[in-house]
Amino acid sequence: MILKLMGSKKGTEKELLWQSRFAEPFDREALLFSSSVDVDKALYQEDIKGSIAHVTMLSEEAIIPVEEARLIVEGLEEIEQEITSGAFVPHWEDEDIHTAIENRLKEKIGPIAGKMHSGRSRNDQVATDTKLYLKGIINELDNALAALKQLLVEKAETYRYTIIFGYTHLQRAQPVSAGHYYLSYFNMFHRDRERLDDLLKRVDISPLGAAAFAGSTLPLNAKRSMELLDFGALFENSIDAVSDRDIIIEFISICSIVMMHLSRFCEDLILWSSSEFDYLEISDAFSTGSSIMPQKKNADIAELVRGKTGRVYGDLINILTIMKGLPLSYNRDMQEDKPPLFDAAKSTVSSVRIFTKMLAHTKLNEERLAKLTGEDLSLATEIAEYLVRKNLPFRDAHRITGKIVSHAIESATPLPDLTLETYRSFSKLFDNDLYDALKPEASINTKLSHGSTSFASVDMQIKAAREKLNP
């Protein structure tokens, strides 16, 4: 929404929190420029929660009378409902959501509203709001990733015996179990959840009670505020408590990693659903058509997720650049932390959710994959390893196999269809048992090394993944 200046008034009419020190009113355009209400109104619930905890602590410590605290808390609870229902709409002229709520409270209960700010600055207030928001959004992202992991285990189970191509350099490399492939993504998203879990330790530290940055002369009980807000720990240093935006940077960097994982996955889906590959089908419900070419079926959802990765990286660079070189402690620049935070959170959570739904509606084209993997040159490594088992040094085996591959290409014959005579013309070590090794199943099932693609290994990985689903 673009805010418009109303009328031609020079200065603002509303009394700003800090106005009394100034002789002239704040310029309306400057207020419009500096107002964050349009963005930080998303934090109204966190803000009210933080204020209720602070006021409760103030009354328990006899810093404000119990009766007045009760009035404030009741007023705040009403305001929360008013904002939720739309009965009260925070206005840009109030500078930020904290002030909008305070001004509304003043309208409701008079000057007592001002007591809500005893021993608290908007600096520790906004830091508290942001941490409460982060706790919620980390949980949401974590749940979305948990659902994706669950689906990946199910996919791995469904397709554990389906053979697909594994690629390096986007060249067919070696056949693998499709279950193995899905579980590789499972591992990535599992690490993303571990990162979120680790971040939570730092988010779970209450900054409330740091005041502007140096603390307060009032006998605040910051530990009590911490308990009331369900934080696990309390800040150590009030300067750091109001200045720390590491948690936002960490969160957006985790979002960036999640998006990077998703966009790689999307790239596979986009390529594999094209008619050139034709390895899988994304259901109609997640595909779009072309307005001009009737035959087209596009993987737009996967493309959009891949595209949103760019904006999340942009959010990361945005916040890193805002924080670079900022002198301690609070600076107004830091108000600009919320647009990238909200944007990254929304883009990432919605991407994980829609991706999961789309992936649930994709099917591997098993028939075609079986045909292609059965006749492909990607079995060449099996030939080389066959020779190694016959005691030939790997380098020699590689060289001989290279010549066989070149012959197969020239004669347009799949490797399993070359005669034994032909094989023996390259090395006398070849025997009839070579053909057993030239089946993709055999190639897969003789990979006995740890974490490899053999069906037995994939079964073990599925079991381990199942255990990791609900830590």
Active site residues: 169, 290
Does 126 contact ligand ARG by CB under 6 A? yes
Output 115 or 122, the one with its CB closest to ligand ARG. 122
Q: How far is the CB of 40 from ligand ARG (least distance, A)?
A: 6
Q: Identify whether the C-beta of residue 415 lies closer than 8 Å to the C-beta of residue 426.
A: no
Q: Which of 272/330 has CB closer to ligand ARG?
A: 330
Using the 8-state DSSP alphabet, how is residue 450 labeled?
T
Dihedral (CA of 364, 366, 372, 377) sign: positive
Candidate list 96, 102, 192, 343; residue touching ligand ARG; CB under 6 A: 96
DSSP conformation class of 11:
B
- Asked if 245 is part of the footprint of ligand ARG (rule: CB under 6 A), the reply reads no
Verify binding: residue 265, ligand ARG, rule CB under 6 A: no
* Residue 29 C-beta: closest distance to ligand ARG, Å: 18
* Binding piece for ligand ARG, criterion CB under 6 A, among 77-85, 306-314, 330-338, 439-447: 330-338
| Residue pair 202/241 in contact by the 8 Å Cβ criterion | no
User: Is there a cis peptide before residue 329, judged by omega within 30 degrees of 0?
Assistant: yes
| Three-state DSSP state, 299 | coil
Query: In the bound complex, what is the minimum distance in angstroms from residue 334's beta carbon to ligand ARG?
Result: 5
In terms of CB distance, is 96 or 385 closer to ligand ARG?
Answer: 96
Exactly one of 12, 123, 238, 243 binds ligand ARG (CB under 6 A); which one?
A: 123
Residues 6 or more apart whose CB falls under 8 angstroms from that of 99 comprise 16, 17, 122
Site string for ligand ARG, 40-69 (x = CB under 6 A): x-----------------------------
99, 129 contact by CB (below 8 A): no
Tell me the H-state helices in 110-221: 122-158, 178-203
Residue 123 or 401 having the CB closest to ligand ARG: 123
Q: For ligand ARG, what does the binding mask look like between residues 2 and 41, x meaning CB under 6 A?
A: ----------------------------------x---x-
Find where tokens 């001009």 sit: 292
Q: Among residues 56, 177, 335, 454, which is the contact residue for ligand ARG, using CB under 6 A?
A: 335
How far apart (Å, rounded) are the C-alpha atoms in residues 206 and 225? Answer: 8
Q: How far is the CB of 218 from ligand ARG (least distance, A)?
A: 19
CB-facing half-sphere around the CA of 268: CA atoms within 13 A:
21
Among the listed residues 28, 54, 120, 122, the single contact to ligand ARG using CB under 6 A? 122
- Nearest-approach distance from CB 330 to ligand ARG, in angstroms: 5
- Residues binding ligand ARG: what is the number (CB under 6 A)? 10
Q: Are strands 205-206 and 171-177 parallel, antiparallel or unpaired?
A: unpaired
* Both structure tokens of 459: 């079964």
Task: Report d(CA 119, CA 137) in Å as an integer.
Answer: 28
What sign does the CA torsion over 399, 405, 410, 415 have? positive
Q: How far is the CB of 325 from ligand ARG (least distance, A)?
A: 17
With beta carbons less than 8 A apart as the criterion, state whether 27 and 203 touch: no
Identify which of 439, 393, 443 has the alpha carbon closest to the alpha carbon of residue 415: 439
Cβ atoms of residues 220 and 208 within 8 Å: no
Nearer to ligand ARG, 252 or 334 (CB): 334
- By C-beta, is 116 or 358 nearer to ligand ARG? 116
Cβ nearer to ligand ARG, comparing 129 with 382: 129
Tokens 């005893």 locate to 118
Interface with ligand ARG includes 251 (CB under 6 A)?
no
Piece of 59-67, 121-129, 135-143, 455-463 that binds ligand ARG (CB under 6 A): 121-129
Sign of torsion over alpha carbons 404, 409, 411, 416? positive
Among 330, 386, 426, 430, binds ligand ARG (CB under 6 A): 330
Judged by CB, which is closer to ligand ARG: 335, or 365? Answer: 335
- Binding region for ligand ARG (CB under 6 A): 36, 40, 96, 122-123, 126, 330, 332, 334-335
